[in-house]
Each structure stands twice: as structure tokens, then as C-alpha cells.
């Protein structure tokens, strides 16, 4: 599994790990039932300490995105499509909150904010 | 579960210096960084653990086996790279390794040769003529060739160039993958093991002042700037506090408390930045100087 981790970020390594794996799961790049690399193997590949990877996996487990099976490691959990979408929606809202709040404080209207978001979405597709 | 090692009330004294009493332990499969300035007692700790010197009192166990001069079995589980690279100077690296192999039932000559190749170390040269960097490499090969369960590494990358340094760290990551091995790594250059270490023990003047999970330190410490027009606020969690007029900057060892207080007292333009593990370590070793607004 390819992750792209950096020390030069405001985001902790643990959260970079969970965020990047989460994105793979929500995008369907990692299928339900698929095995994740062992904590130690991922630690070695990404040059990150074992406990950092472990904590990243625990975050994902708490969110219900992955499950541990005793003695067998971690697997992508079975998620219904609507539940996946709901998670993506909630995460988007969480991340937009501070951005939108700042935009409002700087005087942008709801329509102007919507237009900016729409242009970002259409540019990507 | 059996600890990779435990130090229980270990004391070693020299004229004018006392190490300990040290209490410290390490879980198998993890890496503990040992951080302290020169002459704080890191090397003495390793000497006690590797059996080079005997502590005055206290108990040392390695994978459940007590370090005792009468039963030297504990030493077989240790790979030590220290300040002293003891080789027969007139022998080649290869001959030195062959000599050492006789003391270790688990020794793998294939592994030794493979490591030497990875570190770009010539084995057909007399130890006495090796450069400083190559002597360190030979020590590393000698310490790793019997696949020890506990690695005691005392500044193992000093004198190595960045490429070999990287190769050494890669070797250590691989050594850990089995899940049982543990590494105790002394350094004052934290960036070397910033990513590798699971936890850090800080040593100052012979005493361990703090043992913390590295990720907890990275989560809690922040450099925080803000504006506040009131006079002389005492900021919770601040280890260092500088101010210039209404501008303040604190280094906080507990960002949640600091941010909570700043918001409650109505500080403005609050900006919080993560700190590198090096910067955090420096603050911990300095022990903080809480200079409230001057």
C-alpha cells in the first residue's frame, strides 16, 4: 500500500496515515474484506514508528472502516454504499467548517461560497 | 509479557558522578530513544547493560535473564554498538568477524557479509587502517550478525555519511519487523530516529527526568503566538513565554490547556504551530524557563 507521508506538515503522521487509508477505503480503492498490511510491515515501508501506525489503525477501527481479526491482522470493513457516502459527507462538513467560517468573516455570501465550491468540483471532473 | 529489558534501581558511581537510580523498561518490538547531553550518563548505562562495567547496585534483566557476571547468557541476546570499537587492529575486518562469531551460536556469516555489502564496507582491509566511518560500520556488522533480540546503540550513526546513515536506519527498521526485537538507541541528534522511536527517555545529570510516547509529545507540544493587551498573563502549560508589547509567544507542553485559557481570556490572533521532535527535546532537556511577560 502506497502512502505519502511527510514530516513537513501541520498534520501528525498518525493522522496522515488514517486519512490516506480512509480515502482509499471511501474511494473503493481498497475493497471490503481486503487485508491491510501488518502494522510492522507498514511501519517499515513508510519509515514510521510502530506505535504511530498502530494509532492510525486504531482511529480507523474506531470509525468502523477497518476491523481487526485476532491473529490475522486488519481488514477493510463491509460498508454499505449509503453509509460510506454519509461518512464522506460528514468529513467534508467537518473540514469545510473552518474554511466557510473564515470566508463568511471575510464578507463572502452563501451564493459566492457555493459558486467557489461548485467551480472546484467541476474543475476536477 | 517479558520485557526486552528492565533496569531496576540501577546505580553506578564514578568520582564526581552518579548515574541513577535508574528505573526503565522496554517492550519487545519497540524502539526507545535515549536522549541526553554529553556526559549525562548514556554511555555508562549501556556499559552496565552490555556487561562492560558492573553497576554498584540494582538489577538489570534482558528478556527475563538477569545480567550476572556468573551467568553470561544475557549477553548473547544483545548487540551493542558503542563508543569503543574493540577490534584486533592487525587483522582484517573479516578475521575480526570470524573471531567474534565463535562467541555467538546464532552468528550468520552470510548475514555479516550481506550487511558489509549494504554498508559499503570492505572486509579485506586491516581494522587498524579503517577510517572512522568504516570502523563504525564494522561495529554495526559485528553487532547485528548474530541477530540479537536487543540492540543497544550508542550514537551508532556518528561519523557516517547521510547515504550510509540511511542504510543503517533501514537495516534497523527491518530488524524490528519480526515483532520481538527491541532497540535502545542513544543519541543527541533526534532527527536520526525521530520517526523510528516509539518512546523517548530523557536523561540529565545521571537521572531520567521523563519517559514519554513520542506521538504524545508531538500531539501536546505547540509553539503558540497571540495578542493580548492585558498585563502579565500567566499561561497554563507554557514552558517558555516571550512577549513584546501586546505580542506574545509561548511554547506549550499542553496545547489543550493553553488554548483553552487563551480563548477564555479573550486573546486574539491565536496561531498554533506544531514543533519538531528535536525542538521539543531541546525544551525538555532545558527543563523550561517560564519567563512570564516582561
A125 has a pLDDT exceeding 80? no
Residue of A nearest to B218 (CA): A12
Question: What is the per-residue pLDDT for A124?
Answer: 66
- A9 three-class SS: coil
Predicted pLDDT at B202 = 93
Which cell goes with B249?
509567544
Sheet of B65-66: strands edge to edge? B17-26, B5-14, B57-62, B65-66
pLDDT digits (tens, 9 = 90+) for A36-57: 999 988 998 888 999 999 999 9
**Dihedral through CA B220, CA B221, CA B227, CA B229, nearest 10?**
80
Q: What is the pLDDT of residue B289?
A: 43
Q: Where are the alpha helices (DSSP H) in B34-119?
A: 42-50, 93-101, 109-118
Where does the pLDDT of residue A22 fall: very low under 50, low under 70, confident under 90, or very high at 90 and above? Answer: very high
Q: Is the ipTM of this complex over 0.90?
A: no
pLDDT of residue A72: 86
End-to-end CA distance of chain A: 25
User: Percentage of chain A with pLDDT > 70?
Assistant: 98
Q: Nearest to residue B119, comparing CAs of B101, B133, B99, B100? A: B133
Query: Sheet harboring B150-154: ordered strands across?
Result: B78-81, B150-154, B182-187, B31-35, B199-204, B207-213
Grid coordinates given for B279: 525542538
Q: Taking an 8 Å Cβ-Cβ cutoff, which residues of chain B contact chain A? A: 29-31, 169-170, 173-174, 176-179, 194-199, 213-215, 218-219, 273-274, 276
Separation between Cα atoms, residue B272 and residue B221, nearest integer Å? 10
**Phi/psi at A30 (5° precision):** -105, 120
| Minimal-distance CA residue of chain A relative to B217 | A12
Residue for cell digits 507542553?
A: B253
Mean pLDDT of all residues in A7-16: 88
Give the Å distances, CA to CA, from B108 to A21, B101, B115: 38, 8, 11
Residues in contact with A108: Cβ distance below 8 Å, sequence separation at least 6, in sequence order: A116
pLDDT in tens, chain B (294 residues): 789 999 999 999 999 899 989 999 999 989 999 998 888 899 999 999 988 889 999 999 999 888 887 777 888 889 998 877 788 999 999 999 999 899 888 899 998 998 999 888 999 999 989 888 888 889 989 999 998 999 999 988 877 888 888 888 888 888 877 778 899 999 877 777 788 899 999 999 999 999 999 999 999 999 999 989 887 778 889 999 988 888 899 999 999 999 999 988 988 888 899 998 989 999 998 874 444 333
Report the chain A residue with the minimal C-alpha distance to residue B220.
A12
**What is the Cα–Cα distance from B210 to B257, expressed in whole angstroms?**
20
Question: CA dihedral in degrees (B255, B256, B261, B264; nearest 10)?
Answer: 130
- pLDDT for res B291: 40
Higher pLDDT, A82 or A99: A99
* pLDDT at site B292: 37
B282 to each of B46, B153, B176, B201, B235, how far by Cα in Å? 22, 21, 27, 13, 20
Q: What CA–CA distance (Å, rounded) separates B134 from B127? A: 9
Residue B36 in grid coordinates: 541526553
Of the partner residues B30, B179, B274, the one whose CB lies closest to the CB of residue A51: B30
Which candidate from A10, A12, A48 shows the least CB-CB separation from B195?
A48
Q: How far is B100 from chain A (nearest CA, A)?
A: 29
Residue A41 sits at the chain B interface (C-beta within 8 Å): yes
**Alpha carbon of A113: minimum distance to chain B alpha carbons (Å):** 24
- Three-class secondary structure of residue B272 per DSSP: strand
Pairing of strands B65-66, B182-187: unpaired
Cell of B192: 536520526
Q: How many residues does chain B have?
A: 294
Through-space distance between the first and last CA atoms of chain B, rounded to whole angstroms: 51
d(C-alpha A42, C-alpha B221), whole Å: 26
The whole-angstrom distance between residue B205's C-alpha and the CA centroid of its chain comes to 16
Provide the chain A residues 87-106 that lie in CB contact (below 8 A) with chain B. none
CA–CA distance from A23 to each of A58, A64, A85, B37 (Å)? 16, 14, 12, 42
Amino acid at each position: 500500500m502506497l502512502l505519502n507521508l511527510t514530516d513537513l506538515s501541520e498534520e501528525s503522521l498518525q493522522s496522515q496515515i488514517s486519512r490516506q487509508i480512509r480515502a482509499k477505503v471511501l474511494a473503493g480503492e481498497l475493497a471490503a474484506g481486503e487485508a491491510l498490511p501488518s502494522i510492522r510491515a507498514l511501519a517499515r515501508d513508510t519509515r514510521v514508528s510502530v506505535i504511530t501506525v498502530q494509532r492510525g489503525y486504531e482511529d480507523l477501527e474506531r470509525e468502523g472502516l477497518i476491523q481487526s481479526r485476532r491473529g490475522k491482522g486488519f481488514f477493510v470493513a463491509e460498508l454499505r454504499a449509503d453509509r460510506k457516502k454519509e461518512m464522506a459527507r460528514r468529513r467534508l462538513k467537518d473540514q469545510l467548517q473552518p474554511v466557510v467560517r473564515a470566508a463568511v468573516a471575510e464578507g463572502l455570501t452563501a451564493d459566492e461560497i457555493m459558486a467557489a465550491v461548485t467551480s472546484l468540483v467541476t474543475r476536477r471532473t | 509479557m517479558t520485557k526486552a529489558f528492565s533496569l531496576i534501581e540501577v546505580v553506578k558511581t564514578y568520582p564526581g558522578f552518579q548515574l541513577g537510580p535508574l528505573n526503565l523498561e522496554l517492550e519487545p518490538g519497540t524502539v526507545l530513544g535515549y536522549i541526553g547531553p554529553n556526559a549525562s550518563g548514556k554511555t555508562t548505562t549501556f556499559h552496565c547493560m552490555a556487561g562492560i562495567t558492573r553497576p554498584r547496585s540494582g538489577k538489570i534483566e534482558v528478556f527475563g535473564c538477569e545480567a550476572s557476571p556468573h551467568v553470561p547468557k544475557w549477553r548473547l541476546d544483545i548487540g551493542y554498538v558503542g563508543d569503543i570499537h574493540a577490534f584486533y587492529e592487525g587483522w582484517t575486518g573479516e578475521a575480526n568477524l570470524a573471531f567474534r562469531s565463535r562467541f555467538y551460536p546464532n552468528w550468520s556469516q552470510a548475514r555479516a557479509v550481506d550487511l558489509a555489502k549494504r554498508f559499503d564496507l570492505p572486509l579485506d582491509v586491516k581494522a587498524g587502517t579503517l577510517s572512522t566511518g568504516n570502523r563504525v560500520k564494522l561495529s554495526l556488522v559485528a553487532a547485528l550478525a548474530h541477530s540479537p533480540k536487543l540492540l543497544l546503540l550508542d550514537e551508532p550513526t556518528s561519523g557516517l555519511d547521510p547515504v550510509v546513515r540511511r542504510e543503517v536506519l533501514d537495516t534497523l527498521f527491518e530488524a524490528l519487523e519480526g515483532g520481538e526485537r527491541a532497540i535502545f538507541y542513544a543519541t543527541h541528534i533526534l532527527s536520526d530516529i525521530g520517526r523510528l522511536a516509539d518512546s523517548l527517555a530523557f536523561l540529565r545529570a545521571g537521572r531520567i527526568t521523563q519517559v514519554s510516547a513520542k506521538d504524545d509529545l508531538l500531539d501536546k507540544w505547540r509553539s503558540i503566538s497571540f495578542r493580548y493587551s492585558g498585563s502579565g498573563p500567566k499561561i497554563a502549560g507554557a514552558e517558555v513565554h516571550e512577549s513584546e508589547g501586546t505580542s506574545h509567544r509561548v511554547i506549550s507542553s499542553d496545547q489543550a490547556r493553553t488554548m483553552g485559557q487563551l480563548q477564555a481570556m479573550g486573546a486574539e490572533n491565536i496561531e498554533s504551530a506544531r514543533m519538531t521532535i528535536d525542538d521539543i527535546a531541546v525544551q525538555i532537556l532545558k527543563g523550561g524557563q517560564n519567563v512570564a511577560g516582561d
